[in-house]
Amino acid sequence: MADFQLFIDGEYVDARSGDTFATYDPGTGTKIGDVAKAGVEDAERAIAAARKAFDEGPWPKMSGKERAGYLRKVAELIGTKAEELATMEARDSGGTIKKAMFADVPGAQGAFEWFAQCAETEPDEVELPGSDFPPSQNLVRYEPHGVCTGIIPWNFPFIMAAWKFGPALAAGNTSVIKPASFTSVTALMLGQIFQEAELPPGVANVIAGPGGTAGEVLASHPMVDKTAFTGSTEVGRRIMQLASGTVKPVTLELGGKSANIVLDDADLDIAAAAVLFGTFFHNGQVCESGTRALVQRGIYDEFVGLLVERAGKLVIGNQLDYATDLGPLVSRGQVETVERYVKLGRDEVGEPVCGGEKPKVADDLDAEAFYQPTIFAGVPNSSKIAQEEIFGPVLCVIPFDTDEEAVAIANDSIYGLGGGVQSRDLERARRVADGMRTGTVWINDYHMINPQRPFGGYKQSGIGRELGVQGFNIYRQVKHIHTNPSTSRDGYVHFSALGDI
């Protein structure tokens, strides 16, 4: 029996093949346990359970208020297990315990609460203006899609699972989610929470396993009505292809290379903190990280000095220690990707102004899994390190002269996910924010994602929105019902458009 089993049809089960894969704490390299490895057959089993729960079970027929009751219970149970969940999230992903306690667990809890509220307050039916001639009464009815699948990445596994399950279930759908193989455990732990909240079997299923097999089934299976994916732009393109076979609606949350614009009237103390927080939080393994800092030339040298001084103070170490600011990256492979980009940066723009190496860490840690916060200054926006998503602790600082130039540089990217503007002049900051082609802009702030506010990307950063009312409605189909109330042929003169019938 695997230490962490699949959650299908309300029960924990092994993969049909009996296969497992090991999951590790990347900080120490110690094994956490064996995870059941779902194959095609297990993915199909989970989809069949969700299908049955949708077609024959009570979930889609319940009122929004009833479903909200279950989701509030899920949120409450997450709260009671906060420490256990946060510790496992930190061990399995390498994210710090601070991040897990202050962002991951409350973020997931807040998402379930918000979507419970949407289920209660968003109307199921809206009456439209009718017409007198030909007479009609018209209404729009919102209905669940059916079976919704979700495929999620390794950087925020627990929150991402909540962002997929929360709106899908609140809107009356049933669901199957697949977390990334590096970080499957906390999403699988949700199964126990769903059992304790007494969700009907099959409503919410979690399978762990490889994207290329189990994941492809979730995105392509004819019994699935909608699919949502968070991950790299490259795999996002593949998901669109897979979903196109049965014309499934897709929601995609993909990569980014977001610009954080520092105007010359910014409070430099706050702006420097916003740039460092925006880049190095979770080692830059955040899709909307502000990895391009665009800094106005008049303050450029002073500002770069502040960034370097403060980046050097970040504490690197064991992610389970509350004093740690930066833990390991998710894997040695991710460190190798960062090293490749830092080498490229050295070739393209020269020595970084700080970092650029693996740090020295305590003997009980895996030194190959850590990387120093690294800053390249004077980076041309056309360089590869400014254009490609690194997904590690690497910041590119880019100088500019005018506000218009800053907007043009910010928009010169295939991505458009996050972004920031740092300025004391809020009108000026708004003009800059309005010009940015991106899904979220934080003025004098960064990373402030909230379940009540929509989140998603322009351009190759994605399709659709998660969170907010928009993120709820994307999980509902729209049906228009037209009723002709006439009882005499006078109300049907339009039939004569065909002939005398």
**What is the widest separation between alpha-carbon atoms in the chain?**
91
CB of 238 to ligand NAD, least distance (A): 5
Select from 30-38, 93-101, 215-223, 309-317 the region that touches ligand NAD (CB under 6 A): 215-223
Given 108, 151, 168, 375, the residue binding ligand NAD (CB under 6 A): 151
Does 356 engage in binding with ligand NAD (CB under 6 A)? no
Beta bridge partners of 480: 140
230 binds ligand NAD (CB under 6 A): yes
> For every residue of 481-500, which 3-state class applies, written as one string?
EEECCCCCHHHHHHHHHCCC
Q: Does 254 bind ligand NAD (CB under 6 A)?
A: yes
Catalytic member of 287, 288, 354, 396: 287
Q: Please, which residue, 112 or 154, has the CB nearer to ligand NAD?
A: 154
Please name the residue ranges forming H helices in 81-209. Answer: 82-93, 97-99, 105-121, 157-170, 185-196
Nearer to ligand NAD, 68 or 235 (CB): 235
Q: Which of 334, 188, 186, 159 is nearest to 253 (CA)?
A: 159
Q: Nearest distance from residue 183's CB to ligand NAD, in Å?
A: 8
459 binds ligand NAD (CB under 6 A): no
Segment contacting ligand NAD by CB under 6 A, of 49-57, 166-174, 227-235, 419-427: 227-235
Of 492, 487, 489, 469, the C-alpha closest to 170 is 469
Query: Contact with ligand NAD (CB under 6 A): which of 81, 98, 238, 431?
Result: 238
| Residue 233 · residue 393 · CB < 8 Å | no
Minimal distance in Å, beta carbon 190 to ligand NAD? Answer: 15
**Residue 447, token pair as written in the block:** 């990373």
User: What is the CA angle 224-235-459, rounded to 5?
Assistant: 100
Provide the token pair at 457: 């990307």
Residue 471 lies near ligand NAD (rule: CB under 6 A): no
Q: Length of the chain, please?
A: 501
Q: Candidates 155, 279, 319, 460: give the one binding ligand NAD (CB under 6 A).
A: 155
Q: Give the span between the Cα atoms of 45 and 8, in whole angstroms.
A: 8
Is 216 known to be catalytic?
no
Phi, psi of 108 (to 5 degrees): -70, -40
Given 211, 278, 352, 451, the residue binding ligand NAD (CB under 6 A): 211
Whether 35 contacts 23, CB under 8 Å: yes
272 binds ligand NAD (CB under 6 A): no
Specify whether the CB–CB gap between 372 and 316 falls below 8 A: yes
Nearer to ligand NAD among residue 138 and residue 232 (C-beta): 232
Q: Using the rule CB under 6 A, is 43 a contact of ligand NAD?
A: no
Q: Tell me how far apart the alpha carbons of residues 236 and 232 are, in angstroms, rounded to a whole number.
A: 6
Specify which residues 204 forms β-bridges with: 175
Distance between CA atoms of residues 312 and 373, nearest Å: 8
Residue with smallest beta-carbon separation from ligand NAD: 211
Among 26, 39, 202, 256, binds ligand NAD (CB under 6 A): 256
Nearer to ligand NAD, 262 or 449 (CB): 449
Residue 156 CB, shortest distance to ligand NAD, in Å, is: 6
Residue among 258, 257, 262 nearest 400 (CA): 262
Q: How far apart are CA 329 and CA 26, in angstroms?
A: 7
Residue 54 vs 229, nearer CB to ligand NAD? 229
Among residues 4, 54, 112, 154, the one that binds ligand NAD under rule CB under 6 A: 154
Contacts of the segment 127-132: beta carbons below 8 A, 24+ positions apart:
128/480
Contact 187, 206 (CB under 8 A): yes
Evaluate whether 6 touches 42 at the Cβ level (below 8 Å). yes
Residue selected from 178, 226, 292, 447 as contacting ligand NAD according to rule CB under 6 A: 178
Quote the CA–CA distance of 48 and 26 in Å, as a whole number: 35
Backbone angles phi, psi at 136, to 5 degrees: -155, 150
d(CA 353, CA 378): 10
- Calpha distance 475→168 (Å, rounded): 6
Looking at 3-11, 207-215, 336-344, 395-403, which segment touches ligand NAD (CB under 6 A)?
207-215
Contact by Cβ (8 Å): 255, 461: yes
Q: How far is the CB of 215 from ligand NAD (least distance, A)?
A: 3
Cα-only R_g, the chain: 25
56 is a catalytic site residue: no
Binding residue for ligand NAD, selected from 188, 243, 250, 287, defined by CB under 6 A: 287
Smallest distance from ligand NAD to CB 38, Å: 11
We find the least distance from the C-beta atom of residue 182 to ligand NAD, in angstroms, to be: 7
463 touching ligand NAD, by CB under 6 A? no
215 contacts ligand NAD (rule: CB under 6 A): yes
Considering only residues 389 to 418 of the shown chain, the ones binding ligand NAD according to CB under 6 A are: 389, 391, 417
Least CB distance from residue 210 to ligand NAD, whole Å?
A: 6
* Span of 226-234, 349-357, 364-372, 377-385 interacting with ligand NAD by CB under 6 A: 226-234
Q: Which stretch binds ligand NAD (CB under 6 A): 111-119, 228-236, 319-327, 369-377?
A: 228-236
Please give the residue ranges that form the binding site for ligand NAD (CB under 6 A). Answer: 151-155, 178, 180-181, 211-212, 215-216, 219, 230-232, 235, 238, 253-256, 287, 389, 391, 417, 457, 462
Q: What residues act catalytically?
A: 253, 287
